[in-house]
A and B are shown apart, each in its own frame.
Chain A
Amino acid sequence: MKKRRIGALALAAAAALPTLLFSVGCASEDTVVLRVFNWEEYIDEGGEGSYQYDYEVNEDGSAPPIIEDFEVWYEETYGTPIRVEYSTFGTNEDMYNQLQLGDEYDLLCPSEYMIMKLAAEDYLQPYDEDFLDPSIEGNYYAQNVSPYIREMFESNRINKEDPDDTSTWADYAAGYMWGVTGFTYNPAYVEAEELSSLGWDIMRAPQYKNKVTTKDNVRDSYFVALAICYRDEIEALDPDADDYTQKLAAILNRTDEETIAKVEAVMQEMDENIYGYETDTGKADIVSGKIWLNFAWSGDAVYAMDLAEAGEDEEGNETESTLLNFFIPEECANLWFDGWVMPKGANKQAAQAFVNFMSKPENAVRNMYYIGYSGVIAGEEVLSYVKDCYEVDPGDYESEEDYVAYDLSYFFGDTVEEGSAVFYADREQAEERQLHAHYPTLEVTKRCAVMDYYGEEANEAINELWSRVKSETLDTWAIVVICVGVVLVVAAVLTAKFGGKINFFRLPHKKGYRRVRQENCR
């Protein structure tokens, strides 16, 4: 999601592309071409980082990227050769710009608000009606998607303003990855109890001055400021009420003028308190101890915690092992999704086959393992992967305090044997570490709200607000004084220049002797 580790692996992908093209350069004419546009580093790319590396290596010792496996599978299943043209983007806005410039793709992977924007602007075509029918063979997405995600996609409308438009995310999008937002923090410096009492106000807390970062991204920072502004109102809601989710989402999607003014004031205070805005330096900075708290998407948080714990930096060099924790503010958090959508004119058959292939639980595990985010796919293989990572034997613990029964039934539902999605996990894992970020419990997700697309006008207002917060604004009189000053300087330079030209520089060479004489007379 959003702009992530852009460095090393983007290069690797760029280097891999020509070889990919070359290897299929001689394919026959009836080869299907599938153009996929995805986030950077958002799919299994094979090699040492692959889940398959340990047991399924190629002859040359590498594990194949999942896309190659898809090409083989597609030809075996449908009898037609296929070639995937895979390209990547760094932000939702970059992707949107590429589309506007006329780039054509068969499958895109934007975040939820961008899906809503694209659908509202009529860029997308819906999935086949029987795509979500689990009884059809080969519909791996329908068979394996988590009931929780499915419900989410079917209940969120594309266009909330128009009561006649009843289309939902599920009509246009199939989920890929999901998660929540929170803070990674270094427990060596930060007390968990203190965080709970502060909530999102961590950003303005004087005890963390210059020790906390936020994303250099307007939507994430706007959400944080909203949560700070309306904390009392959010906490006054009854979490057991039927309309709790709607009410919470309504508060956290406010864009009226009064709200924008309040948010601006809060964001200015945040701006003064925080260490800085980052897109991908946060992970390194928290590991090195420059900062104590880092606003993070859950998938990135898992990745950062793993690296810090293993004592490695992003390039694989050894560093000191540090334990990091993840904190999701109790009052609310942002729930986000990235999903596959098909632009108009896409090859629907091949695109849907790609989504289905990625939704086979074993492939979902490969992708999750490689990129660190949580997939929307449930099923036995995914559950056993989660258990491999986090399940513990209570017999190993001396005290009952140190482990908990972790319940993920809401996520796995009927895709796994009943009751098997409850397992014992280490208490620290379940409450403040990787498991907490990777698969938050129902109690956590219930308090999360999805951020909608704000609409053209509100979007512009919020972007302007963002530039006001991030830039230093001078008083009008100062600007006037400076402008006058600049004009004076320009005038002075011009006078000096042209004055000099007439008297000194530009005299014809013939009369050069006069210049010398004048000089000597001075």
Chain B
Amino acid sequence: MRLRFSRKMLGIPYAVFLVFFVIIPMLIILFYAFTDKEMHLSFGNFIQFFSDPTKLSTIVYSLVIALITTAVSLLIAYPVAYILARSKMKKKFVILLLFVTPMWINFVLRINAIRELLGWIGLLGEANYFNTILGMVYDFLPFMILPLYTTMLKIDESFYEASADLGANALTTFRRVTLPLSMPGIASGITMVFLPSMTNYVVSDMLGNSKVTIIGKFIYEYFGTNWHMGSMVALILLIVVFLSTWLTGGFKEDETVRGANL
């Protein structure tokens, strides 16, 4: 049979990538999570996880830290994105760049810099949770601003005009027009900030002096000593993440296309 080129073949590289770097690793995690040290099938890790208050507390703490980080990022990013998207300013991309450029600087460098700054102010070692959240907000803010900005940019001016024509005041316009239409941006921003702030233990180690333990650190430590428990924690985190993505509507096609338009 002659091999003929078809457009479908363009998908082969991605399929290979998908199999080797997504599907097989997932299966390995699944396998490790439900086996014990002798490689026998076991639910021991699952039971141990849900009967250990330390592990459950860590999940709760990570969730709370991630929620606060997301909320603060949203509160800061929303007005910025709104002003930038609505302004008639000619060089507004410069301001946008100012928010985004930190993202282009090495992550470790930024965290070290903020660590020095906090030490200088005297907060380092005194307010570990505050520092951790501050660091995460600082790091993930661009991921919140960008999707919000792109979504708001696409809101047609005529919507606002119509709203004004129909006698809505500023608050009503915001509630009935801006907010619903920027929902996809909010959803994708939340997904992009919430997930890393549950796992990025470099921030909590550096700014919380390793006294703040989040679920990512847990996984890291277990992979030093017990891969089976580590895989189980990773799997549970995966489920939490999946649920939160689903709840914020991250899987809806039309919305992700618009929201993740970075």
Binary contact readout A458-500 vs B (1 if CB under 8 angstroms, 0 otherwise):
0110011011101111111001001000000010011001000
Is A277 a contact partner of B61 (Cβ separation < 8 A)?
A: no
Is A479 a contact partner of B60 (Cβ separation < 8 A)?
A: yes
CB nearest to B119 among chain A residues? A290
- B245 within 8 Å of A by Cβ? no
CB contacts under 8 Å to A, within B37-57, are 53-57
> Which of B82-90, B167-175, B217-225 participates in binding chain A?
B217-225
Is A93 a contact partner of B53 (Cβ separation < 8 A)?
A: no
- B126 within 8 Å of A by Cβ? yes
- B210 within 8 Å of A by Cβ? yes
For this complex, into which size category does the number of interface residues on chain B fall? 20 to 34
- B209 within 8 Å of A by Cβ? yes
For the complex, what is the distance from the CA of A302 to the CA of B216, rounded to whole Å?
A: 33
Contacting residues, chain B, for A216 (C-beta < 8 A):
205, 210
Q: How many residues of A contact B (CB 8 A)?
A: 37
For the complex, what is the distance from the CA of A277 to the CA of B211, rounded to whole Å?
A: 7
- B178 within 8 Å of A by Cβ? no
Binary contact readout B121-134 vs A (1 if CB under 8 angstroms, 0 otherwise):
00011101000000
Is B125 a contact partner of A275 (Cβ separation < 8 A)?
A: yes
CB contacts under 8 Å to B, within A11-57, are none
- A126 within 8 Å of B by Cβ? no
Contacting residues, chain B, for A494 (C-beta < 8 A):
247
For the complex, what is the distance from the CA of A38 to the CA of B149, rounded to whole Å?
A: 49
Residues A277 and B210 in contact in the complex (CB < 8 Å), given A290-B124, A479-B60: yes
Q: How far is the CB of B126 from chain A (nearest CB, A)?
A: 7
For the complex, what is the distance from the CA of A439 to the CA of B244, rounded to whole Å?
A: 56
Q: Is chain B's interface secondary structure helix, strand, loop, or mixed overall?
A: helix
For the complex, what is the distance from the CA of A485 to the CA of B221, rounded to whole Å?
A: 29
- A80 within 8 Å of B by Cβ? no
CB nearest to B207 among chain A residues? A276
For the complex, what is the distance from the CA of A271 to the CA of B53, rounded to whole Å?
A: 18
Contacting residues, chain B, for A490 (C-beta < 8 A):
243, 247
For the complex, what is the distance from the CA of A261 to the CA of B126, rounded to whole Å?
A: 28
Set B124, B125, B221, B243: member contacting A467, Cβ < 8 A: B221
- A77 within 8 Å of B by Cβ? no
- A288 within 8 Å of B by Cβ? yes
CB contacts under 8 Å to A, within B56-73, are 56-58, 60-61
- B213 within 8 Å of A by Cβ? yes
For the complex, what is the distance from the CA of A35 to the CA of B126, rounded to whole Å?
A: 46
Is A471 a contact partner of B225 (Cβ separation < 8 A)?
A: no
- B261 within 8 Å of A by Cβ? no
Set A97, A285, A479: member contacting B53, Cβ < 8 A: A479
CB nearest to B61 among chain A residues? A472
CB contacts under 8 Å to A, within B91-132, are 119, 124-126, 128
Residues in B lying within 8 Å of A, measured CB to CB:
53-58, 60-61, 119, 124-126, 128, 205-206, 208-211, 213, 218, 221, 223-227, 243, 247, 249
* A and B contact pairs by CB, cutoff 8 A, 22 listed: A93-B225, A210-B125, A210-B126, A216-B210, A276-B128, A276-B210, A277-B211, A278-B210, A281-B206, A290-B125, A291-B125, A463-B225, A463-B226, A467-B54, A467-B58, A467-B213, A471-B57, A473-B54, A474-B56, A482-B60, A490-B247, A497-B249
Residues in A lying within 8 Å of B, measured CB to CB:
91, 93-94, 97, 210, 213, 216, 271, 275-278, 281, 285, 288, 290-291, 459-460, 463-464, 466-468, 470-476, 479, 482, 490, 493-494, 497
